[in-house]
Amino acid sequence: MSNLNKINLTELLLNKNKLLKLVRKSKSKFLKKIKINIYGGYTSNEIADWIKIILIKSGVKSDIFQSNWGGGFQNFQHHKFLSNDQNFFILINSWRDLFVSNRVDKFAISENKIINIYKKFLQISDKFNSKIIIMAFDFPEYEIKLKNKSLSNSIFNLNSKIYNLCNKYKNCIFFNPQQYIYKNKVEWGNTRDWFVFGKMISSEASIILAKKLSEFIYKFNQPTKKLIVLDLDNTLWGGIIGDDGLENLKIGDDTPEGRVFTEIQSYFKMLKERGLLLAIVSKNDEKIGLKGLKNKKNVLKINDFASMRINWKDKSENIKSIQEELNIGLESIVFIDDNPAERAEVKKLLPEVTIPEIGSSPEYYIQNINDLEIFNLNNTLSKEDTKKTNLYRIEKKRKIVENKFNDKEKFLLSLKIKIKLTSINDKNIDRVYQLTNKTNQFNLTTKRLELSEIKNYKRSKNKNIIVTEAKDSFGDYGIISVMYLKFINKNCIIDNWLMSCRVFSKTIEDAIFYSLVKKVLKEKIKYIYIDYIPTKNNNILKEIIDRLGFIKNKYNLKNSWVYKTIKPKKNIKHYCSISDET
């Protein structure tokens, strides 16, 4: 997509039909298909055409619906929603939609009415899991001041209200196209084209806009970015600490370059506060690198980083090792380094990692990263995520202590693990939903559930969802396990069981199962059944099922295991104190 910038926009306009023909000819069976609905009060054909052309390059075939001309944003009130994850909406707003046609002295609709239309639209679309991109209202070429109202003021108000609305929905992006087009030094639109062709956005602006919209659409389908791996020298501060020395590094308010790097550090600090993890990979002697990180002028402090590799190994190797330590998919990692050679090395060996071309001028680093839109989606944030850096740091301390103990049992006892079991409730359902859909390793069936399905399960008479929280002497893990239980004819069936990988090998699963057995014994339940559906990620369960004392179901049902509560194969051993509040 990036090579669009290098091509002359006029040449592109000349060749549009040729490119469209290529789109029509492309073999659709190899392409991912999506449906895009464009709603706007004026001609959007050009934008639609360019989106098709640009998306096909990323292997996406788009079927685009366009609303009728002249209806404005009011058109989409009547949209019939389809339940389809690949359904996108692009809503284009213009100041002209606010007026009776060609009458700048007469407003056609009140602000409140518009906001209500949006509210309704977002509520419904959220239920159907549609992805929405809303464009801010543009400003007119001249100021329009009515007796009691200025148009600019109205537009500011509307945009800020719609922005606030959008922030509540994770599948919604609000974006100011006019500002973006001006930044690219292209004409937004012109009045002649409006009066003659009914065209609000210029042909060149349509190309640039389509490129941006395609990026948003593409990003919606990409895995959420969770970790930013940062270089040190000339990335977080100006200069090379090993050569220039700590005192001569450019960071802080006293030099222009220092101010640039202060802003760069604060940008990453902001992303960290929003829930992304930061890590360091730097080619330096560890001692020297750490000295730079302890610099009082830094905005980012050592505690802001979940992990660090400061050594002379290849960066790809270090990133791989951080990835394993933090248990994060390579697709969720962004690598930031000023050195093109380092970027190329990582790109070659870890192609899944996102590596922005940040350029060679630090004052443009942030813009170049931001233009990729990888951090601008609302869905990168979750309450649990914002605490993550700390959790990983605590885990590291735990590991250090663990290595000091020769005896695993003594270590586990020293942790003083406490678990608390409760039934699902309104407070923990979001985390249950997250664990159900994100856990891959400790997950019996990898069955994913929608929020509504979880609510239905919870409501059923003979079913229950057990939620477990854990903490130890180092800190609080929060909610780490979810167990879906079904009771039929004095049998207990574990429909699914999942646990966060953060609490592996601490006998917490043994303790959870122990309390389940204790509970069902009281109700004279003789058998506990589980279905274990192996995947390439959940091998860990094979050993655990055996350790807990399950035996293969002798009626030879595939994947089915059974536990005899009265005469178990072995006794369950764990090192946790349990409080059962189910």
Partner 1 sequence: MKRKIFDQLKIIFQKYFYNTKIIITEKTSAKNIKQWDSLAQIGLIILIEKKFKIRFSINEVEKLKNIGDMADLIYEKNKKK
Contact between 40 and 92 (Cβ < 8 Å): yes
Part in contact with partner 1 (CB under 8 A); list of ranges 187-195, 352-360, 383-391, 452-460: 187-195
Q: Any bridge partners for residue 576, and if so which?
A: 417
3-state secondary structure of 333: strand
3-state secondary structure string across 519-537: HHHHCCCCEEEEECCCCCC
User: Is 67 an interacting residue with respect to partner 1 (CB under 8 A)?
Assistant: no
Which of 128, 182, 197, 312 contacts partner 1 by CB under 8 A?
197
Q: For residue 37, give the nearest of 132, 128, 120, 127 by alpha carbon.
A: 132
Near partner 1 by CB under 8 A: residue from 2, 5, 7, 21: 21
Phi, psi of 211 (to 5 degrees): -65, -45
Distance of closest approach, residue 192 Cβ to partner 1, in angstroms: 6
Measured from the Cβ of residue 206, the count of other Cβ atoms closer than 10 Å reads: 26
Shortest Å, Cβ 213 to partner 1: 19
| Residue carrying structure tokens 């270590």 | 411
Stretch of 6-14, 89-97, 349-357, 540-548 contacting partner 1, by CB under 8 A: 6-14
Residue 21's Cβ-count burial label (10 Å; 0-12, 13-18, 19+) is exposed
Q: Which stretch binds partner 1 (CB under 8 A): 16-24, 145-153, 296-304, 395-403?
A: 16-24
- Check binding of 104 to partner 1 (CB under 8 A): no
Q: Where are the alpha helices (DSSP H) in 286-428?
A: 286-293, 315-326, 340-349, 365-370, 388-404, 408-415
Can residue 13 be called a binding residue for partner 1 (CB under 8 A)?
Answer: yes
Per CB under 8 A, the segment of 42-50, 74-82, 387-395, 551-559 that binds partner 1 is 42-50
User: Could you say which of 67, 203, 214, 481 contacts partner 1 (CB under 8 A)?
Assistant: 203
Toward partner 1, which CB reaches closer, 49 or 469?
49
Which is closer to partner 1, CB of 104 or CB of 394? 104
Candidates 1, 16, 373, 384; binder of partner 1 (CB under 8 A) is: 16
Neighbour tally for 106: CB within 10 Å: 11
CB of 4 to partner 1, least distance (A): 17
Buried b / exposed e over 520-537, threshold 16 CB at 10 Å, is: beeeebebbbbbbeeeee
Contact window for partner 1 (CB under 8 A) among 70-78, 193-201, 331-339, 434-442 = 193-201
Q: Please give the structure tokens belonging to residue 56.
A: 């096909």
10 binds partner 1 (CB under 8 A): yes
For residues 16 and 526, which CB has a smaller minimum distance to partner 1 in the complex?
16
Q: What share of the chain is helix, strand, coil (3-state, %, to 5)?
A: 45, 20, 35
Contact between 383 and partner 1 (CB under 8 A)? no
* Interface stretch with partner 1, choices 81-89, 174-182, 189-197, 480-488 (CB under 8 A): 189-197
Decide: is 52 part of the binding site for partner 1 (CB under 8 A): no
Query: How many chain residues touch partner 1 (CB under 8 A)?
Result: 18
Token pair of 277, please? 């993890």
Q: H or E stretch including 516?
A: helix 508-522
With CB under 8 A as the contact rule, the residue among 18, 404, 536, 558 that binds partner 1 is 18
Query: Is the Cβ of residue 92 or residue 498 nearer to partner 1 in the bound state?
Result: 92
Integer Rg of the chain from CA = 28
Q: What angle do CA 358, 240, 330 make, to 5 degrees?
A: 45
Per rule CB under 8 A, is residue 15 in the interface with partner 1? yes
182 binds partner 1 (CB under 8 A): no
CB of 20 to partner 1, least distance (A): 9
For partner 1, the binding residue among 78, 192, 296, 570 (CB under 8 A) is 192
Could you tell me the end-to-end alpha-carbon distance of the chain, in angstroms, rounded to an integer? 53
Q: Of residues 5, 45, 559, 579, which one binds partner 1 by CB under 8 A? A: 45
**332: which DSSP letter?**
G
Contact between 14 and partner 1 per CB under 8 A: yes
Binding site for partner 1 (CB under 8 A): 10, 13-18, 21, 43, 45-46, 192-193, 195-197, 199, 203
